[in-house]
Structure 1
Amino acid sequence: MTYLFENVSGIFNKLLAKERDPINQARIKMLAYILVLYLLFTGVLIFAYIAGGEMLHLYRVSIVFIATLLLIGTAYFTHAWKIVSHIVIWFLTLAVWTNLSIYVQDINIETLQFIWLSCALSFYMHGLKWGWFYSVINVLPVLIYTAIDNKNYFYIGAGAHEVSQLTYLFVTAYNFSLIIFLQYYFFKVFNKNFITLTQTKNELNDLNNKLKKTLSEVNTLSNSRMEFLSTMSHELRTPLNGVIGISNALLLQNPREDQEENLAVLKFSAENLLLLINDILDFNKFDSDKVELERISFDFVALVKNNCASLKLKAQEKMLDLNLHIDEELCGKHVCSDPTRLTQVLQNLINNAIKFTEKGSVSLHIEINNISEETMRLRFMVADTGIGIEKHRQKSVFEPFVQASASTSRRYGGTGLGLPIVKKVLAMFNSHIELVSTPNLGTKIIFDIDFKYEDHNTCIFPKSINIKHDLAHLKILVTEDNPVNILVIKKTLEQWNIIPTIAENGLMALQKLEQETFDVILMDLYMPEMDGYEAATLIRNLDDTIKANTPIIALTASANNNIAQKIVDAGMNDYLSKPFNPEHLFRKLKNLTDAVER
């Protein structure tokens, strides 16, 4: 039986191939079964009515037979199966009306079967709206006929035109069989789709559970990676602190010319290695969405000038002019933002400009683009006269690990992370980069940042550092467990005539502080016995208010994301990342001790 149905529905295989909806495919198959089987049904009735001499029924069935052939041809050649199904339902409706008005002139079993077929088929084939429409136009004539019939009871009679018992039995049995088949088939398809949907839902639930598990594992792996990078950061920065610190100390001891050249190369190499490490660590932080902007008030002009001053020597080594053009209205303005991330943007862009410029100049232009009572929009432009970037590569340079070309990577080195980091930081500032570049002529990078600001009476400019400045009066306690780091800090402080006291862990620092008073404490964060956080917290809780308020500068080689907040929570005043620039330490000592004296 199933094989027969498959052959019947095979008539519309081309039509089925074009339909992707399983419900519509079921409708097409159902229409094919109805048309082909009705063709057989009416064919049998034609012979029966000829044999019985029932001419009126013969005419009617012959019309249905011819119409069925035409409908099969229409559906097959035009693929208009929906229109064909409408016509089929109209034929059934017409059968109901003609039974009531002409052939039977009453309501018999055959009429009720036609009504049921047209209602069911309309809902199955065309949905709710058409189902209701066809149901109304099939049921309404019956209700009207019953209402106007002069009989006092509902009568289902044989009708005015008698037919043979065998023919009537065949018609009735066939119609019931078709009704049962339609119910069976559509329910079968519905049930199959329901089971498929249930299985799909279960598969999706299983997939979601697996995805959640995978995401959890990815998060765990990401956290482990960050923890590993943080540990590696500490392990890598500690020896670099020794290399860079000793290089700085030796360069300040009047070395011979050949020694100075060797030390400069050593320092340059170590600082380059540090930049590469910082880029990789920062990129991983951004990639893991572990970075948030701080909100700190700082002198904007001083920050910019410090950044340019720190790169001046690098530009001079390549005989380049490093120019700063800053709007005079910015003098005396303190902004509330993240100075570390802003420094990161400026350092990366100016460093890049110097790296890729062989002759000419590098310039930083900053101007006020828009200003109100509380906020101002500043436009930054870093311009150089370097190698430039070809038009088709200008977007790709902001992708991780990508440089303008393979030759650029070989010639200039680097990780290709500078500009992607800049892009990510600027996105945190709700800003974006505009790049204008011409090969062999130079590059301009432009971006805008909105700042909240406040005016101060004077413009604070960074002072050039005089290493002969007498800081010998300062008593400094250095809390550090690494012998190389101790040597670096001692030699750095000795440049300024400071002889520090050394404590190898937090517990020893507390003991030293109980014995004498210090002007500043330089506190390493990770030490045996007692770490820097715990030591700082205990110092802030001392009964002696003078000792409890001793300025503390944290020294750390860690790259933890919440390091700044943890330092503030422990009560420390400031921090320096290892390896540190002696000039930065000098400024922090000067600023802290001046503030205490005032």
Structure 2
Amino acid sequence: MIHLYKPLEKFVHGIASVEPDAIDQARIKLLLYILILYVPYSAILIVAYIFGGETQHLIRVAIIFSSCLLLLAAIYFFKVWKTASHLVLCSLTLAVWSNLFYYVHNINVATLQLIWFACALGFYMHGLKWGWFYAATNVIPVLFYTASDSQNYFYLGAGPYMVSQQIYLFVISYNFLWIIYLHYYFFKVFTHNFNKLTTTKNELKELNEKLRTTLEDLQSTSNARMDFLSTMSHELRTPLNGVIGISNALLLQNPRKDQTENLAVLKFSAENLLLLINDVLDFNKFESNKVELEHIPFDMAILLKNINSIVQLKAREKMLDLQLEVTKDLKNKMIIGDPTRLTQVLLNLLNNAIKFTERGSVALGVHTVSINEDHLSLSFAVTDSGIGIATEKQQDIFEPFTQASSSTSRNYGGTGLGLPIVKKVLMMYNSTIKLMSMPGVGSMFHFVIEFPYQQSNAENSHQLNNNGKELADLKVLVAEDNPINVLVIKKTLEQWNIKPVIAANGKIALQKVVENDFDIILMDLYMPEMDGYETAGAIRKLSDPAKSGLPIIALTADVNNSVALKVKESGMNDYLSKPFDPNDLFQKLRKLTREKSAASSL
């Protein structure tokens, strides 16, 4: 009805658009329509009352006419639509009271219309509280009047001030139209918003379904990526095991000085390649939240010396002064933590320091922050006199695949994964890395970790040696199908006077266990005929306790997180990742043989 007038609609919409809420916009529009259309309504009545000589009604409609114009101006210029709506409701209430007690002295149709109008407008414009207030202020006087005037209890009269039938018909018709439109408009707005919410809900449901499908696809892609990386890791680490293992074996055979240097370079290059592979795999593990810290006892002082020895050759090649300063509080203490992850952190920091330092020094300092009966807080600081890092780039270097500048990547290489991995490992230790750096002066990376610790005895602190005397004549079965890996293991064991028996697959290994006596088994996990898991399970089911209880160490190039769990479930005692450190193998052989000797003596 009202929307037929486009200019009017445009004017009303322009004022209502200041409110972001759709319901408030509907309220403003409704109020403006009421005020605008009551201007011609009251103007018509003014003319009618002038010609009819009805002074009392003329005064009232003149006030309505003026009030509508003033309220429209206030809403347009000052945006006070809520105040204006309250004034309109107060005017309606005043009209009801004046009809009851002055103009009509009764309850006629027009009075009832005003009551309905005020009640509906109160709820629609201002909600429940104000709606109940205006309803009460309009209805209670009617009830009070009706209760006190028993003669006219059922009478709907015209009152003492008579008006013409045409004017009265015009007034009640106009009011009825407004009451009808009031309900129509708000029901229309309600329906529109309800439909909009329903549409939005359906769209959100479809979007959630698409999101769920996308997440499933991403999960599948992530799993496929991890499977691919695990496979590639196995394929890359297997030949690296041969390179590093043979290098270790040759270095132990008293080579010439020139051969020693060449072998050291070969071993160093292979270990660097292994480090890059590990960084890529570890980063993917961290991204998939599949990394957990170990909590095993280790000698921190020895670990730090070993780390220093690993980077010594690289520092010596660049003629850098490599310094190691370790607190004396570590003496006779076994730290409880993850030596592998801590080594990863310190090697990344030290390798970076050496890489970006052309002259001067690189230092690793470990100092005590606090110590009590069972916990020790250590401060680690890696300092260099290298190229430094600009202040605005210092946070960027901890982001994946990011370096301080493109020239850094060109001149120094690297994947940009070392420092992000350092950051993630330290987060697992509830620690953060801090950087102080100045271009051209150098950098210092610093962090603090609190470790549990236990006192160590002479046995724990004794450095394992590789002369092999206590392992001599150990009967070892090696289940391995890769010829290079067989050669590496044989040469490693032979330096400890161990002559292993080789089985090319799991089926042969099981047969040899049945036919012969062994002290320990080194088991590859992936072999033809029967893999390592199946073979270990079959051995554990043998009826002979001496054979079914044989210590088994898994050897694998697979670094998937599930390996350790599957190894344990299959009945194997321990595992080593390829390429393995001969010292690590020596320790595990020594530990298992001692445990077996202690058990047999009981």
Same fold, TM-score > 0.5, yes or no = yes
Q: Which residue of 2 aligns with 1:174?
A: 174
Q: Which residue of 2 aligns with 1:515?
A: 515
Distance 2:314 2:221 in 1: 39
Q: Which residue of 2 aligns with 1:183?
A: 183
Q: Which residue of 2 aligns with 1:379?
A: 379
Distance 2:28 2:501 in 1: 93
Q: More deviation in 349-358 or 422-431? A: 349-358
Instruction: Give the partner amino acid of 1:397.
Output: I
Distance 1:475 1:223 in 2: 41
Q: Is the 8 A contact 2:382 2:446 kept in 1?
A: yes
Answering whether residue 269 of structure 2 is matched by residue 269 of structure 1, we say yes
Q: Which residue of 1 aligns with 2:99?
A: 99
Q: Which residue of 2 aligns with 1:193?
A: 193
The alpha carbon displacement at 1:57 in A equals 1.1
Q: Is the 8 A contact 1:11 1:76 kept in 2?
A: no
Q: Which residue of 2 aligns with 1:299?
A: 299
Q: More deviation in 39-48 or 149-158? A: 149-158
Distance 2:220 2:546 in 1: 45
Distance 2:546 2:358 in 1: 55
Q: Deviations over 1:491-543 (max 9, x none)?
A: 33333333221111122112112222223321111111111122223333433
Q: Is the 8 A contact 1:8 1:36 kept in 2?
A: no
Q: Deviations over 1:464-492 (max 9, x none)?
A: 74558685422221111111211222233
The alpha carbon displacement at 1:262 in A equals 4.1
Answering whether residue 423 of structure 2 is matched by residue 423 of structure 1, we say yes
Query: What does 1:400-411 align with in structure 2 at a 5 Å threshold?
Result: 400-411=400-411
Instruction: Give the partner amino acid of 1:390.
Output: A
The alpha carbon displacement at 1:558 in A equals 0.5
Q: CA RMSD in A?
A: 2.3
Instruction: Give the partner amino acid of 1:168.
Output: Y
Distance 1:326 1:493 in 2: 34
Distance 2:448 2:157 in 1: 90
Instruction: Give the partner amino acid of 2:227.
Output: E
Q: Which residue of 1 aligns with 2:50?
A: 50
Q: Which residue of 2 aligns with 1:132?
A: 132
Partner SS for 1:151: helix
Q: 1:309 to 1:573 in 2, by over 3 A?
A: farther
Q: Is the 8 A contact 1:108 1:157 kept in 2?
A: yes
Answering whether residue 24 of structure 2 is matched by residue 27 of structure 1, we say no
Q: Is the 8 A contact 1:8 1:32 kept in 2?
A: no
Q: Is the 8 A contact 1:507 1:535 kept in 2?
A: yes
The alpha carbon displacement at 1:442 in A equals 2.5
Q: More deviation in 300-309 or 122-131? A: 300-309
Answering whether residue 545 of structure 2 is matched by residue 545 of structure 1, we say yes
Distance 1:456 1:426 in 2: 26
The alpha carbon displacement at 1:258 in A equals 5.1
Q: Is the 8 A contact 2:13 2:29 kept in 1?
A: no
Q: Is the 8 A contact 2:464 2:587 kept in 1?
A: no
Q: More deviation in 94-103 or 257-266? A: 257-266
Q: 1:344 to 1:569 in 2, by over 3 A?
A: farther
The alpha carbon displacement at 1:396 in A equals 0.9
Q: Deviations over 1:227-256 (max 9, x none)?
A: 111111111111222222233333444555
Q: Which residue of 2 aligns with 1:532?
A: 532
Instruction: Give the partner amino acid of 1:299.
Output: D
Answering whether residue 193 of structure 2 is matched by residue 223 of structure 1, we say no
Q: 1:381 to 1:595 in 2, by over 3 A?
A: farther
Q: 1:416 to 1:185 in 2, by over 3 A?
A: same
Q: Which residue of 2 aligns with 1:352?
A: 352
Distance 1:150 1:247 in 2: 118
Partner SS for 1:553: strand
Q: Which residue of 1 aligns with 2:388?
A: 388
Q: Deviations over 1:290-335 (max 9, x none)?
A: 1122333333334333333333333333333433333323222233
Q: More deviation in 587-596 or 425-434? A: 587-596
Q: Which residue of 2 aligns with 1:69?
A: 69
Q: 1:124 to 1:470 in 2, by over 3 A?
A: closer
Instruction: Give the partner amino acid of 2:368.
Output: I
Q: Is the 8 A contact 1:331 1:458 kept in 2?
A: no
The alpha carbon displacement at 1:268 in A equals 2.8
Partner SS for 1:517: coil
Q: Deviations over 1:381-423 (max 9, x none)?
A: 2223332222211111110011222222222211110110011
The alpha carbon displacement at 1:200 in A equals 0.6
The alpha carbon displacement at 1:5 in A equals 4.9
Q: 1:323 to 1:518 in 2, by over 3 A?
A: farther
The alpha carbon displacement at 1:207 in A equals 1.0
Instruction: Give the partner amino acid of 2:352.
Output: N
Distance 1:517 1:296 in 2: 32
Distance 2:66 2:376 in 1: 84
Q: Which residue of 1 aligns with 2:455?
A: 455
Instruction: Give the partner amino acid of 1:368.
Output: T
Q: 1:65 to 1:57 in 2, by over 3 A?
A: same
Q: Which residue of 2 aligns with 1:441?
A: 441
Q: Is the 8 A contact 2:473 2:499 kept in 1?
A: no
Answering whether residue 352 of structure 2 is matched by residue 367 of structure 1, we say no
TM-score, normalization by structure 2: 0.93
Q: 1:140 to 1:48 in 2, by over 3 A?
A: same
Instruction: Give the partner amino acid of 1:344.
Output: Q
Instruction: Give the partner amino acid of 1:122.
Output: G
Q: Which residue of 2 aligns with 1:336?
A: 336
Task: Report the identity percentage.
Answer: 61
Q: 1:152 to 1:169 in 2, by over 3 A?
A: closer
Query: What does 1:150-169 align with in structure 2 at a 5 Å threshold?
Result: 150-151=150-151, 153-169=153-169
Distance 1:95 1:309 in 2: 99
Instruction: Give the partner amino acid of 2:274.
Output: L
Answering whether residue 586 of structure 2 is matched by residue 577 of structure 1, we say no
Distance 1:334 1:360 in 2: 34
Distance 1:182 1:3 in 2: 14
Q: Is the 8 A contact 1:9 1:33 kept in 2?
A: no
Distance 1:388 1:291 in 2: 31
The alpha carbon displacement at 1:590 in A equals 3.9
Instruction: Give the partner amino acid of 1:375.
Output: H
Instruction: Give the partner amino acid of 2:282.
Output: D
Instruction: Give the partner amino acid of 1:270.
Output: A
Distance 1:555 1:521 in 2: 10
Q: How many equivalent residue pairs?
A: 598
Q: Is the 8 A contact 1:243 1:267 kept in 2?
A: yes
The alpha carbon displacement at 1:22 in A equals 0.8
Distance 1:124 1:253 in 2: 96
Partner SS for 1:430: coil
Q: 1:540 to 1:350 in 2, by over 3 A?
A: farther
Distance 1:201 1:248 in 2: 66
Instruction: Give the partner amino acid of 2:113.
Output: Q
Q: 1:343 to 1:547 in 2, by over 3 A?
A: farther
Partner SS for 2:219: helix
Answering whether residue 462 of structure 2 is matched by residue 476 of structure 1, we say no
Q: Is the 8 A contact 1:331 1:459 kept in 2?
A: no
Distance 2:509 2:588 in 1: 20
Q: Is the 8 A contact 2:147 2:153 kept in 1?
A: no
Q: More deviation in 248-257 or 160-169? A: 248-257
Q: Which residue of 1 aligns with 2:310?
A: 310
Distance 1:477 1:144 in 2: 107
The alpha carbon displacement at 1:2 in A equals 5.4
The alpha carbon displacement at 1:196 in A equals 0.4
Partner SS for 1:446: strand
Structure 2 unaligned regions, length at least 5: none
The alpha carbon displacement at 1:161 in A equals 0.7
Q: Which residue of 1 aligns with 2:121?
A: 121
Q: 1:572 to 1:307 in 2, by over 3 A?
A: farther
Q: 1:456 to 1:541 in 2, by over 3 A?
A: farther
Q: 1:571 to 1:366 in 2, by over 3 A?
A: farther
Distance 2:388 2:464 in 1: 34
Q: Is the 8 A contact 2:46 2:61 kept in 1?
A: yes
Distance 2:568 2:300 in 1: 22
